[in-house]
Amino acid sequence: MRIIWSIIASVLLTLPGLCAELAKPNDPYFAQFNPELAPEPKGLLLHKNDKLAICGDSITEQKMYSRIMETYLTVCRPDLNVSIRQYGWGGETAPGFLARMTNDCLRFKPTIATTCYGMNDHGYGPYREDIGKRYRDSSTIIVRAFKAAGARVVQGSPGCVSHKDPPLNTNLCQLRNIGVEIAESEHVGFADVFWPMLTAEVEAHKLYGTNYWIAGADGVHPGWAGHLVMAYAFLKALGLDGEVGTFTVDLASGKAQASKGHEVISSKGGEVQLKSSRYPFCAVGKLGDDNSIRSGMSLVPFNEELNRLTLIVKNGKAQKYTVTWGKEGRSYTAEQLAKGINLAADFVDNPFMPAFSNVDKAVTEKQKYETKQIKQIFHGLAGSKYVDMGDPEMAHFAAMLDSLSEKIIAETEKTRTPFVKAIKMAFVPVTHSIIITPE
């Protein structure tokens, strides 16, 4: 706690004033909001072998946007070799995380961290200056504590609530603006979660009907569509360029080329066989379902900006071609193919799906254990309660719960290690074929 208390003493109670305002959609609903222009990422914020801490409240503890982020970084950017822990805690505020960040987070020496607080800080009522001050002060100390520990930071805004509650969302917008000011003052990254979620929900109501809730059925906890929008905001804030790979096929010569992370095994007569050690982000689901990742992808430019697996076909003599990838075939003009098509966006059920699913399942199990590790073991209740839960593993740890010792930490890390290894084992190269047939 020594680092944090020294930072608390140095926190300024005021930060720079208002900056330029973000452009608003042409909809009367948005007139009540005054979102400040957020800083853009300056290149890739992630470094090779980074240790990423994903910190937040119950929305983070849902292990949905954090799972999208970890699976994405595992399969789309394996070259970065980023290791990830999620630290979600239901009901938490920025001051709440500040009180536990040394014990729970800094001890694992993260090199980069994302935060997502404000939903509970805003008190579920109209904005007040004391709400803003408490959020500002605690969030600033958190950022400075991470920086003092050698970690880069992305200050995340809160999300939105159901847009039928304007006073709550104007409050959350104020906290978002405070986050912008903190990011600029402290020279750290900023993830705008609030504005993309709010605008996506209004757009979804136009596209899919008014029963579509980006902020979830309870107005606070998003389903998969909302979490996809959140993950999009954080991945963009990390400066990722979205290039998963490019395959170039010359129909005249019969030759094919592939970018780094992919290998051409054979190419003949418009059929190319490839071996890929980078995956696109794969998602299924109905477009009108607010609990669908695929649906969330229709509301933000996720595929365009973060998920580009491009096929370029040169020297096609026919006007149109059918591209078959896996079980699915789609028709394109020669002009479209020459410019390049995004396989990740166009082919939902593609050859990467089985392997992608295995990685995602392994990520899910690891993140589940991380909640257990922090909430139940590091902050354990009476050991007898764990025994009553019928969990042999918890009974094993209960005997050592008198104090949080290095021995307990080492024991929990031994338990976590197989979950980490399972992700690596699930992430295997995928062999697949693309067939280009003239129509």
**Helix, strand, or coil here: 247?**
strand
Task: Give the angle 366-368-374 at the CA atoms, nearest 5°.
Answer: 100
Cβ(75)–Cβ(361) below 8 Å:
no
The yes-or-no verdict on residue 380 having pLDDT over 90 is: no
The yes-or-no verdict on residue 282 having pLDDT over 50 is: yes
pLDDT at position 404 is 55
Amino acid 58 reads S
Tens-place pLDDT, residues 103-161: 899 999 999 999 999 999 999 999 999 999 999 999 999 999 999 999 999 999 999 99
Among 18-32, 269-283, 373-387, the minimum mean pLDDT is found in 373-387
The yes-or-no verdict on residue 401 having pLDDT over 90 is: no
Tally: H helices and E strands in the chain: 16, 14
DSSP for 358-385?
HHHHHHHHHHHHHHIIIIIIIT---HHH
Q: DSSP label at 31? A: G
pLDDT at position 396 is 52
CA distance 189 to 50: 16
- What is the enclosing helix (H) or strand (E) of 225? helix 224-237
Q: Which residue has the higher pLDDT, 26 or 423?
A: 423
**Helix, strand, or coil here: 245?**
strand
CA distance 93 to 119: 8
Question: Tokens 């305002």 identify what position?
Answer: 21
Cβ(99)–Cβ(41) below 8 Å:
no
The yes-or-no verdict on residue 392 having pLDDT over 60 is: no
131: tokens are: 């709400």
In this structure, the strands spanning 341-342 and 308-314 are: antiparallel
CA distance 424 to 418: 10
CA distance 61 to 347: 31
Tens-place pLDDT, residues 402-423: 445 778 888 999 999 999 999 9
pLDDT at position 315 is 97
pLDDT at position 437 is 98
Cβ(201)–Cβ(160) below 8 Å:
yes
CA distance 309 to 303: 9
Sheet with 308-314, side-by-side order of all strands? 256-258, 243-250, 308-314, 341-342
Of all residues in the chain, the percent with pLDDT exceeding 70 is: 89
Tens-place pLDDT, residues 64-107: 999 999 999 999 999 999 999 999 999 999 999 999 999 899 99
Tens-place pLDDT, residues 323-337: 999 999 999 999 999
pLDDT at position 393 is 57
Question: What residue ranges in 269-411 does DSSP mark as E strands?
Answer: 271-276, 308-314, 320-325, 328-333, 341-342
CATH numbers and ranges of domains, the chain:
2-237 (3.40.50.1110), 245-439 (no CATH)
The yes-or-no verdict on residue 383 having pLDDT over 90 is: no
The yes-or-no verdict on residue 369 having pLDDT over 80 is: yes
